[in-house]
Structure 1
Amino acid sequence: MDIYKFIDPKKVDIKVDCIETDSLYIGEKVEGRKIKAFELVEIGSGKGIEIVGKLKDVLGINIKVSGVDDITASTLESLTPELMNRIRGLRYDFRKENVVITISDKIFDKLTLECIGEILYKAFNSLKIGDVKVILIADRDRFNKELKRAYEIHKTREEKSRISEEEVDEFYGCVSCQINLPNHVCVISPERPSPCGTIWGEAKAANELEIVNYYFEMKKGDKINGEYKSINKKVEEISEGKIKRIKLHSLLKNPPSTGLYSELIIFYIPEKDGFGIVDRGYKHKTPIGLSFDEIEKIVIGKQVEGFVGVSCAYLKSPKFLKDDGGWRKVVWASPKVYEYIKDFVDKGVLKRIQVGY
């Protein structure tokens, strides 16, 4: 699938002399060095490229832009993976604070931070949105500090955008994963972010800005037993009939399909008649005898009852698994998930949740 379907080439220019870039490299398989990274586009001043440290095992991508509001800045973040994935020999997975960049050993020494900075600076400048400053952070101490700041900014954006599904007439679809999963579509509602963490407000702004065009409006239609008639019709059309119905807040009956970059997977534990929640970083077996990676191979790109990919932000949703009993049905969580939920989940519920090791 050509990236020009998603990004207007007249608006974005990333042709550089330092490395080969092309839309053909979107979705290429890359093996090599893994880099932990984050992305943050925010309102700020200044121009040019600032490099902090030498590329080893971490990379913070902080882009400051002027002439836009905060929701537009947050939407422009979705441009970052699209640009980075056009670099030959580089694969950019996941979003926000959970980014993993894989760089082929063949290009690692050739692909300097200055080169990456040039690509991002040129691309964002070509949008004519105001001043642009690209800061690339490879120093671990500075990276850790800025990672925490990025998390807080993303958290605040999520909280500010919190409205109910009943307050809007439309949800948004996302087909960015169709590069690898041709029939997959995510449905993003105000109370259910995408599994990779995109919230409704970001998808709405991205659709209106027409910079990243894999988001699109989906009229809700009538709601019947937790399902939306028009949403079901659109999902069936996009999936070519493979998925006919979805319940946004269920994993037991017609759950949404799971895309490439789920932050978490929720699964059913028959022996407990309850749910477990596991994060991508948990490498041990879950109570159903499978690791995150093994579960993901089963569910990716599919609708599999008893499993569903979600984002961390969805755990805070008032409609969290509402159709299946919500938090009272959760009986197990990986340690990172438990640490994340302990500040907002009822203490009585927390006592019943077994924590992995």
Structure 2
Amino acid sequence: MFDDIPVEVGIIYEGERIRWSDTHVELGGQREKHKFELVKVRGLDEIEDGVVNIVGNDLSNLEPERSYPFGILIEVAGKDLEEDLEGVIERRIHEYINFIEGFMHLNQRYDIHLRISKKAFQKGLTSFTIVGKVLERLYKSEMPFIEKIQITFMTDPEKVAKIFIEAEETYEARDSKARGMKDEEADAFYGCTLCQSFAPTHCCVITPQRYSNCGAISWFDGRAAARIDPKGPLFTIEKGECIDSFRGEYTGANEVVKEKSLGAIERVWFYTAFGYPHTSCGCFEGLAFYIPEVDGFGLVYRDFKGVTVNGLPFATMADSTAGGRQIDGFHGVSIEYLRSPKLLQADGGWNRIVWIPDNIKNRVKDFIPTDVVDKIATEKDVENILQLKDFLKRKVHPVVEKWVAEEEDMEEAVPQEANEVVLQQASYPSLSGLPLGTSSFKIILKDAKIIAKKLIIRREKKEET
């Protein structure tokens, strides 16, 4: 695409995955506490167009096969630019960096995870200045309302940590705008397909009370993006008829999701992790996971270290959640969605949540109902399912009431005398083509659901001899 850039640039490279063994350097990611990407709108006289600043070591001076704190600050100016567009412009960083051969960008905001491949470095991708040139050209070609753009890359740990605080304050200010709005009151929803390079059947439906899974696009961001680029990856979704307000199903959303997923997804329920749950790409900030042993949900976020209460780390469950699929019991969520009254509404909301990392619990504590907040366990309270059960019983968590009700139903079940059943040796049909010595068959049920309306457990009495 660009003759003066040492690597190829194009949509063909979007979705490229770079494994650790092929990585020259890693920027941000789970190994680093401080990382961010931030876009700020400035006055036309406040920035210098086309300037690329590097604070800290450039790519050529970073020690290979290591991870580094990392920050990207993009300052833009234009007479038609408003602060409402900051989040929209910021989210395009993900798309544009992924256009660069050998440069992988995952996630968003304070979760960014970038890798530069050894092959790309050997081909000449040795400076952030090159990356800055690509970003400048792509932004100006697709967003002509940007008249000036100044880009700063940071690898200096102290500088990254300092601007990280400013970035978090900016994110919070953006997120708080939509709080108080209701989905029922919105005249339209908004869709986002920026992540389809990684999850082709995924389409985010963004409502006032259900933020994008990545946590980077609010309803207001979607509206602003759709107005300036109606045919872009962020677009308007006409709500249509409300089929189910409790689960969150709308005819307009179903039609758009079916179209954008090429028929793979036909229905979506916004406020549940079962049935037709909202799909997830791979950029979700966190995920809700069902814990059948206690009939409740756990919540975990991307930067959580170690294993969750069910013995699995975030990465393992993320594989079951991502990819634009509808998987019962696994549900990608943003941190802002945890502040929404619609959070897993059809599943019981916070009354069904039994475990959450302490860090996230403190961040959203003001939005958890006061009568349940102290009844939700963290990694500081329990380490496994058995300890979780004891904790929930002691705290009298709302899910415990369901256990008691189910136990009472089991006790009330009237035992029936079972007739003696005589098992006879089954005769196998003669099938040609099977090797000699075949004595058994394996039956595999694909996509089958086995439903038991009631489970009765009886203790068997041993006869005295």
The TM-score, its normalising length taken from structure 1, stands at: 0.89
- In structure 2, the residue matched to 1:115 is 130
Alignment partner of 1:181 is 2:173: no
Superposed CA RMSD in Å reads 2.2
- In structure 1, the residue matched to 2:228 is 209
Alignment partner of 1:147 is 2:164: yes
Please give the residue correspondences for 1:91-102 in structure 2 after superposition, counting only pairs within 5 Å.
91-102=104-115
Q: Which has the larger radius of gyration?
A: 2
- In structure 2, the residue matched to 1:4 is none
Alignment partner of 1:29 is 2:17: yes
Amino acid at match of 1:61: I
User: Could you say what secondary structure the match of 2:9 adopts?
Assistant: coil
Post-superposition CA distance 1:199-251 (Å, at most 9, x none): 11112222222188112221112213231122223323333443332211111
| One of 234, 238, 244 as aligned partner of 1:225 | 244
- 1:263 CA drift (Å): 0.8
User: Could you say what secondary structure the match of 1:294 adopts?
Assistant: helix
- 1:132 CA drift (Å): 1.9
Alignment partner of 1:271 is 2:293: yes
**Separation (CA, whole Å) in 2 of partners of 1:195 and 1:287:** 23
**Separation (CA, whole Å) in 2 of partners of 1:118 and 1:256:** 37
Amino acid at match of 2:37: E
**Separation (CA, whole Å) in 1 of partners of 2:89 and 2:14:** 18
Q: Which runs of 5+ in 1 are unaligned?
A: 1-12
| One of 16, 21, 37 as aligned partner of 1:39 | 37
**Separation (CA, whole Å) in 1 of partners of 2:265 and 2:2:** 37
- In structure 1, the residue matched to 2:8 is 20
- 1:193 CA drift (Å): 1.1
Question: Which structure is higher in strand share?
Answer: 1
| One of 74, 85, 99 as aligned partner of 1:63 | 74
Q: Whose RCO is larger (CA < 8 A, sep 6+)?
A: 1
- In structure 2, the residue matched to 1:321 is 344
**Separation (CA, whole Å) in 1 of partners of 2:276 and 2:74:** 39
Amino acid at match of 2:39: V
**Separation (CA, whole Å) in 1 of partners of 2:96 and 2:263:** 32
- 1:92 CA drift (Å): 0.4
- 1:97 CA drift (Å): 1.3
Deviates more, 1:265-274 or 1:279-288: 279-288
**Separation (CA, whole Å) in 2 of partners of 1:191 and 1:122:** 35
- 1:112 CA drift (Å): 0.8
Please give the residue correspondences for 1:183-332 in structure 2 after superposition, counting only pairs within 5 Å.
183-197=201-215, 198-210=217-229, 213-226=232-245, 227-300=249-322, 301-332=324-355
Given that 2:269 and 2:277 are in contact with CA atoms closer than 8 Å, whether structure 1 keeps it comes out as yes
Given that 1:53 and 1:139 are in contact with CA atoms closer than 8 Å, whether structure 2 keeps it comes out as yes
Identity of aligned residues (%): 33
| Counterparts in 2 of 1:179 and 1:54: CA distance versus 1, 3 Å | same
- In structure 1, the residue matched to 2:406 is none
**Separation (CA, whole Å) in 1 of partners of 2:175 and 2:2:** 30
- In structure 2, the residue matched to 1:8 is none
Post-superposition CA distance 1:96-142 (Å, at most 9, x none): 11110011123347431222222223333443522222122111111
Q: How many residues align?
A: 345
Q: Which runs of 5+ in 2 are unaligned?
A: 29-34, 63-67, 381-465
User: Could you say what secondary structure the match of 2:196 adopts?
Assistant: helix
Deviates more, 1:16-25 or 1:132-141: 16-25
Amino acid at match of 1:131: K
| Counterparts in 2 of 1:223 and 1:134: CA distance versus 1, 3 Å | same
| Counterparts in 2 of 1:15 and 1:324: CA distance versus 1, 3 Å | farther
**Separation (CA, whole Å) in 2 of partners of 1:211 and 1:84:** 22
Amino acid at match of 2:326: Q
**Separation (CA, whole Å) in 2 of partners of 1:71 and 1:98:** 21
| Counterparts in 2 of 1:15 and 1:119: CA distance versus 1, 3 Å | farther
**Separation (CA, whole Å) in 2 of partners of 1:186 and 1:221:** 17
